[in-house]
Amino acid sequence: MEVTVLGPWGGFPAASEASAGYLIQDKGFNLLVDCGSGVLSQLQKYIAVKDLHAVIISHYHPDHVADIGVLYHGRLIESQVGEKLPPLPIYGHPYDQKGFGELSHRSYTEGKAYDPNKELHVGPFTITFQETKHPVKCYAMRITNGEKTVVYTADSAYLEAFNRLADNADLFICECNLYSDMDGSKMGHMNSTDAAKIARDAGVRTLMLTHLPHFGDLEDLVNDAKQTYDGNVMLAESGYKWE
């Protein structure tokens, strides 16, 4: 099981990078988790557009779905100049009709609703969900292949429920849009201490801070997290591969 960071930025991408996107691979299966601005460009450093097998979306804010339309065009053009591709399944929650409806584009991408109260099986992965605390409906995910487990918070303020979702995770990809002296409870985001507290209480092996802010010294996020959690802490970086 490999995880490649395609986009670590919150809100909008830094120059030549991308907002939220992660490529998770196992047994030849390629799953894209979130598809923010710039993600499709980053994806093609590792696989061709035609080799993507499925996409799953946490919520419909632009920094997590901006490249869905671009992905559709990529599949369309690949089908026109090469062999006809099957519809690409894009899994999303059904509680935003407009956002969910925009996952389907003719016969090239097909929106598929997941039930956050049930396990979802996609390729070799089993995915379970946790509703987050965010201004819109958003779902965190626990993704396992039976051997390794990755947990992705998507966007959220601090929730004790993450302790259960992230229990003993090998990799905990936790949003960290704020510094430790900032309160994200009303805006639906976490700071470095929030992320570290979950990592500590859940007993995760590696804490990866993501959905990064465009201000301040990012190394302060790591240093502050280490005051609470004594495990491995790192910043998500474009192109970083975990396995």
What is the pLDDT of the chain when averaged over all its residues?
98
CB 126 within 8 A of CB 119: yes
CB 54 within 8 A of CB 75: no
Other CB atoms within 10 A of residue 31 CB = 22
Structural tokens at position 149 = 């487990």
In the 8-state DSSP scheme, what is residue 134? S
Condensed to tens digits (0 to 9), the pLDDT of residues 13-26 reads 999 999 999 999 99
In the 8-state DSSP scheme, what is residue 178? B
CB 184 within 8 A of CB 129: no
Instruction: Judge whether residue 82 has pLDDT over 90.
Output: no
Q: Give the Cα separation of 154 and 134 in Å (integer).
A: 10
Q: By C-alpha distance, which of 239, 182, 178 is closest to 212?
A: 178
pLDDT at position 215 is: 98
pLDDT at position 51 is: 97
What domains appear along the chain, each with residue ranges and CATH number? 2-242 (3.60.15.10)
Condensed to tens digits (0 to 9), the pLDDT of residues 33-66 reads 999 999 999 999 999 999 999 999 999 999 999 9
Condensed to tens digits (0 to 9), the pLDDT of residues 101-118 reads 999 999 999 999 999 999
How far is residue 33 CA from its own chain's centroid? 5
Query: Does the predicted TM-score (pTM) go above 0.95?
Result: yes
CB 204 within 8 A of CB 238: no
Q: By C-alpha distance, which of 40, 50, 103, 109 is closest to 70?
A: 40
